Amino acid sequence: MKQKIFIYDTTLRDGTQAEEIHFNTADKIRLARKLDDLGLDYIEGGWPGSNPTDRQFFQEVKNYDFKNAKISAFGSTHNPKSSPDRDSVFQLSLEAGVEVITLFGKAWDIHVREALRISNERNLELIHDSLAYIRPRIRELFFDAEHFFDGFKADREFALACLKQAYQAGADTIILCDTNGGTLTEEIKDIFAAVQQEFPDMPLGIHAHNDSELAVANSLQAVKSGAGQVQGTMNGYGERCGNANLTSIIPALELKMNRDCLPDGHLEKLRNAALYVSEVANVRPFIRQPFVGKAAFAHKGGIHVSAVRRNPLTYEHISPETVGNKRRVLLSDLSGQSNILFKAKQFGIPLEKTDPAVREVLTRVKELESIGYEYAVAEASFELLLNRAMGKGKKYYTLLGFRVTDAKNKEDDTPFSEATVMIQVGGEIEHTAATGDGPVNALDNALRKGLEIFYPSLKEMTLLDFKVRVLTPNQNLCPGTASRVRVLIESGDHHDRWVTVGVSENIVEASWQALVDSINYKLFKDDKSR
């Protein structure tokens, strides 16, 4: 039978201490429900004694039922100048009305002297009295031994004494905290062994920070050394360099260490939960994040792709679907025929290795990428290129000319753009004009104004994002030329989103290329669905 490891999520508190991250009460409720759906054991809602948002969260969360997780409140040992029953801030953790409370206390003598400015003996009293007061009033009680590993290295006896006071006062689990994130993995192993030798029956947990890029490794070592609870945050959000990343810890425990963390069938929800948290946090997902990142199972080199097509184990340590991810094959100047065949299959295009189109497309991709095109991102442009090479491309219209004007009437006025476009569809010519917020928006408006007469479905399409990157000139290919720009345009309709690319020394021309591909892809997609 697998050993159960309890996952204690601190995203709603530790995660908010990260730079650029803020959650309001509604955000926290949404996240708590998502994390419960993932199947986590504990969700720490915040510190009621520190801010009104957390107090409001605990009032609001009572209106919701949780299937898997228990909601926990966070708090500190009581004020040294008071007592548990008279410390109003301390009392707020109890008033949160939850069945789990985690208290933290100092376990490093330098913090006792410099932060609390009390004696070591008084600190031991704070730990014991605080937990002993809460113990009969709560169902589960955890103690975070803050800075424990640094404290152990500085004064072993005092650090162990802090744990002893918490254990004797009734803490269900003692969590050893690497609060500064500076402990090495080998030290985690040795210190856990020392603690277990001193207190063989004490249930232990781990709370690691990532300042040395070791929070995940340290958490896994702690489990190997006997920890039954792991604290961390989704996507590793947290103060400074972040906290232990649960999106790496959970699959590592489940798939590589044969531990039980989530309910059966829930691990495949991991990527979706990670993306949901980043969306609510308004933080761009880290594409190279292990297990759940967009690039975690992306293959670019032709040799790699060829091997993966035969057996994914050659370059994938787990099946992507296990964590809700998927395999991706990228196209670039490193691509081989296997890349082209894989993408063709993905697009539903029957293509054999012996088909001349494979070599033609591969050669064309390498040529275009050498001057700045990026098909790993702009898959819609590549699908159009592939179909043209196979003779399946359709010409929806012919450009007869366009003109774009940027103008500004007065110094303090906002600039405006106007575009005129002349196109031919069949035997009919349309000459349209439109304004817009910038030249690309004006071109888009003018082009679609003319095309919507013939293709009404273009009214469903929206330009969602526009990115420009200046490319360093390749002196070997084009010595003395100006820098090119690459434009990526993301578009969408009611059903899909797609990205197209254009490259030129002229930003308007690069934008036009990406814009034309975007509209052509919409029309091409509509044709396929008929």
Is residue 27 situated within a structural domain? yes
Kindly report the number of other CB atoms within 10 A of residue 348's CB atom: 7
Task: Kindly give, in sequence order, each residue whose CB lies less than 8 Å from that of residue 404, ignoring residues fewer than 6 positions away.
Answer: 417, 418, 419, 439, 442, 443, 508
pLDDT at 474 over 60: no
265 lies in the same domain as 322: no
pLDDT at residue 347 in the model? 65
- Residue at which a domain ends, from 354, 370, 386: 370
Average pLDDT value for residue range 303-318: 80
258 lies in the same domain as 321: no
Q: Residue 348 — very low, low, confident or very high, per pLDDT cuts 50/70/90?
A: low
pTM value is 0.73
Asked if residues 96 and 46 have their Cβ atoms less than 8 Å apart, the reply is: no
pLDDT at residue 42 in the model? 98
89 lies in the same domain as 180: yes
195 lies in the same domain as 140: yes
pLDDT at 367 over 80: no
Phi/psi-derived region of residue 460, left when phi > 0, alpha when psi is between -120 and 50, beta in every other case: alpha
pLDDT at residue 117 in the model? 94
pLDDT at residue 419 in the model? 93
- Residue at which a domain ends, from 281, 316, 351: 281
64 lies in the same domain as 120: yes
Asked if residues 46 and 28 have their Cβ atoms less than 8 Å apart, the reply is: yes
346 lies in the same domain as 455: no
Is residue 67 situated within a structural domain? yes
Domains in the chain, number: 3
Higher pLDDT among residues 172 and 411, named by residue: 172
Residue length, the chain?
530
Is residue 501 situated within a structural domain? yes
Q: How far apart are CA 517 and CA 484, in angstroms?
A: 19
Quote the strand ranges of 18-92, DSSP E.
Answer: 42-46, 70-76
Higher pLDDT among residues 111 and 472, named by residue: 111
269 lies in the same domain as 310: no
For 340, the domain range is 298-370
Is residue 389 situated within a structural domain? no
pLDDT at 39 over 80: yes
pLDDT at 110 over 90: yes
Kindly report the number of other CB atoms within 10 A of residue 115's CB atom: 12
pLDDT at 300 over 60: yes
CATH of the domain at 117: 3.20.20.70
pLDDT at 152 over 70: yes
345 lies in the same domain as 413: no
436 lies in the same domain as 519: yes
Is residue 199 situated within a structural domain? yes
Higher pLDDT among residues 339 and 61, named by residue: 61
